[in-house]
Amino acid sequence: MNYYNEIKSILVDNAIGRKVREYKSNQKDLESYYNVGKLLVEAQGGEERAKYGNGLIKEYSKRLTSELGKGYSIQNLKNMRRFYLVVEKRQSLIVQFKSLNISWTFIIKLLKLNDVNELLYYINCINKMNLTTRELDSKLKSKEYERLDSKIKEKLVKQEEVSVKDKIPDPIVLEGLEYKERLTEKIVQKWIDENPTLFCKSLGEGYSYIESQYKIKIGSNYNYIDVLLFNTIDLNYVVVEIKVTELKKEHIGQIETYMNYVDANLKKDFHNKTTGILLVRENNKWLIKYINNDGILVRNYITREEQVGEYLGGLKWITIMNIAL
């Protein structure tokens, strides 16, 4: 078999077809690139030898670029080879890619992942959250999948049902939040006010921003919910309380009171019960153990993506900055 001619034929057919098709263009691209990747591996003598067969790819790239034009760089041909090798190990991937009409630009970013389960997680995010490439980059850089609870990962691998709230990562990354010496609740609140969409997407799927400092009246006293959200998937209100200390028992009582208020005064009959998210700088595992309300979640938060590795690398989350009490 003349592998070069076969590869060239596939790419030419794909380029011609791209001019006349619209929606299904990504699907045809993926099919073509998968077949090119397969031929490249075969031409290099199989998967093991393909790891070291870059000379052949360099030659093909030069010839294809000369004969067909741009789009056939050494790196792009390597990506096609990688695409084939990844998909070949889990055939369901090609079905996912095709059915979701994911573009090659997204796939190139996902091919950098070594864990197929992690790759499937981000495919799901792209589909359900309609991510841009920039938003996907942010999730990858902040290691969102690695921040999921290990039990949730196991459920995802087994394709078991996982609630939206359980997929909220820990820690949450408040990307771009800046402060000089001490972090205060006011600073965090201001960041959320200025970046409501980014904050909602940092939590996961279906979150919509309603209002910050949401005013409620309990008896003769006015109280303020730090952030009130609504989840369009779970169909429930979400109360968010911001703390710049470790978790304390009074935080639990406070957010539970606010959740009960929302259920009694805002919740409609067709809504599910309100959930609460306590954003803290450090968990208290002993207190968490005795929270008897499944609707309350405790999550750490960090202010820079660069801190993710420090958190994931330790046995527990560490406080890096001086915190204002």
The pLDDT value recorded for residue 185 is: 92
Q: How far is CA 145 from CA 31, 107, 181, 191, in A?
A: 27, 17, 30, 24
Structure tokens at 288: 């968490």
**SS3 string of 10-62?**
HHHHHHHHHCCCCCCHHHHHHHHHHHHHHHHHHHCCCHHHHCCCHHHHHHHHH
- pLDDT tens digits for 34-67? 899 999 998 888 766 655 567 889 999 999 999 9
d(CA 289, CA 123): 33
Tell me if 246 sits within 8 A of 281, measured CB to CB.
Answer: yes
The pLDDT value recorded for residue 48 is: 62
- pLDDT tens digits for 307-317? 565 556 553 43
163-323 maps to which CATH number?
Answer: 3.40.1350.10
Residues of the chain with CATH 3.40.1350.10: 163-323
Contacts 24+ apart (CB under 8 A), 267-274: 267/236, 267/237, 270/235, 271/235, 271/236, 271/237, 272/234, 272/235, 272/236, 273/236, 274/236, 274/237, 274/238, 274/239
In the beta sheet, which residues pair with residue 221? 218
The pLDDT value recorded for residue 321 is: 35
Cα angle, residue 171 at apex, residues 278 and 120 outer, rounded to 5°: 120
Contacts 24+ apart (CB under 8 A), 43-49: 43/3, 43/4, 47/85
Structure tokens at 162: 């996982």
d(CA 219, CA 15): 69
Fill in the DSSP letter of residue 123: H
139 vs 262, more confident? 262
282 vs 313, more confident? 282
Model confidence at 155, pLDDT cuts 50, 70, 90, reads confident
Tell me if 50 sits within 8 A of 41, measured CB to CB.
Answer: yes
- Please say if the pLDDT value at position 23 is more than 60: no
The pLDDT value recorded for residue 319 is: 36
- Please say if the pLDDT value at position 94 is more than 80: no
- pLDDT tens digits for 207-217? 999 999 999 99
- Residue found under tokens 């000089």: 180
d(CA 2, CA 7): 9
pTM above 0.75, yes or no: no
Mean pLDDT of 110-125: 86
